[in-house]
Amino acid sequence: MIRRRKPSLSCRRFCFVLLIITLVLYIGGFFERPVTINGRDCTDNVADTLAHYNATTHQDTPLQFITPEIIGTWKQRKYLVALGVLSPDISVRRRRRFLQRMTCWTFPDVATKANNFTGDLIPLYILARHPIHRYKYTDLLKEEARNWRDVVTLPIDEGRISTNKKMGDGTFWGAATEVGMSRKTFMWLDLALTLFDNVTFIAKGDDDMYLRVPQQLANIRALPTRNLYYGYNMPGRYPFQFRYSDGSIFTLSRDLVQRIVAYPPLRRLATQTYDPGYLKHYMLLFMDHEDMMVGHTVFRVARNVTYATVRRCHFHNVYGRTDLSPLTLNSIMLHNIKERHYVELMKHFREIPPATTKFIETSDGIFFECELHSGSPLHLSSR
């Protein structure tokens, strides 16, 4: 007679721990509240799994999910602005991309697949391979890219997060991640020059912002088309006292972008794989912040730049530790908003036409004025 061995204590403990983990993951997914727009669920409810680096050969190309016909259309169009929105391949940011597409990018003059990419502003999402997925693009991302045809998949890796930062808290992700975002910004600027032969301005934005496109375009149309750097200008940065525009969204004229990507020290570092041994060199070029990197490079390579700056009444955070301002009809770009607010903001702004752009010109640049409309505050739900 064969006697069955009882499971060892260590085996039983392992099974118990595995059961607890499974229950936690299941309960977490069960209680996650989906975000819906017009009855469509934009929550994928797919858990992102931690993974170790898998050193395999990747064949990714930036335009692998953009058809040749669409690329041909882009090259023929004379877009005013090409906007690259930096975003990672994780579920919480996937929802943000969906929310932007269903709100901001439904304004008139936004070029999307739905209107055969006709409009003055074309938004694209700029991604890199994420460590949480073994540095491979997920099937969900590939499906998203084929559906929307607005995803650029750079053949580079995202940096691994090394801090406790949470989305919207105003702190930093760690050197590898921040330098990775600077590399993505550089590669987007470089790619946009060749992808859009006739574009006048090239912009970079965040995936957790809401943009009133009609007013943004009205402002840009009133500005010079050369040597222009438009956004919310931050104070001069020690030790060079250079100016830079906040990275939530900034816009550059095509000629400035050409000079930025041609700057040899930056091009050399931005096109190489991240190496912590070069941290000092990254810091010298301010690559730990993509917006400072751009501002510093403009300071190094360009003269007679027209800095056009909006006020905090125009571009501001809704939540966070800094740069807060009330939501009013002056608001154009809102950053650090909650997922539920995208629909509310569209209700506030969809029917409001762009106001006449007002600004003053000084020796320091162009400064937009507040009070485009009544400055009385609007309200977002706090639930």
| Domains of the chain (ranges, CATH numbers) | 59-368 (3.90.550.10)
Tokens of 197: 């032969």
- Per-residue pLDDT tens listing for the chain (383 residues): 444 454 454 455 445 434 443 443 333 333 334 444 445 444 333 334 333 323 334 467 999 999 999 999 999 999 999 999 999 999 999 999 999 999 999 999 999 999 999 999 999 999 999 999 989 999 999 999 999 999 999 989 887 754 444 544 454 557 898 999 999 999 999 999 999 999 999 999 999 999 999 999 999 999 999 999 999 998 776 667 899 999 999 999 999 999 999 999 999 999 999 999 999 999 999 999 999 999 999 999 999 999 999 999 999 998 776 778 889 989 999 999 999 999 999 999 999 999 888 999 999 999 999 875 655 678 787 65
pLDDT, tens digit (0-9, with 9 covering 90-100), for 234-279:
877 666 789 999 999 999 999 999 999 999 999 999 999 999 999 9
Q: What DSSP line would sit under 33-99, residue for residue?
A: PPPEETTEE-----PPPP-----------TTTTS-HHHHHHHHHS--SEEEEEE--SSHHHHHHHHH
CB 83 within 8 A of CB 231: no
Any residues with CB less than 8 A from the CB of 340 and at least 6 apart, and which? 35, 381, 383
Cα–Cα distance measured from residue 192 to residue 81, given in angstroms and rounded to the nearest whole number = 10
Cα–Cα distance measured from residue 293 to residue 307, given in angstroms and rounded to the nearest whole number = 16
Any residues with CB less than 8 A from the CB of 377 and at least 6 apart, and which? 326, 327, 328
First and final C-alpha spacing in the chain: 66
What is the structure's pLDDT at 357?
85
Q: Where are the beta strands (DSSP E) in 130-167?
A: 151-157
pLDDT, tens digit (0-9, with 9 covering 90-100), for 133-179:
989 999 999 999 999 999 999 989 887 754 444 544 454 557 898 99
Half-sphere exposure of 322 (CA within 13 A, CB side): 4
CB 156 within 8 A of CB 128: yes
277: DSSP letter: G
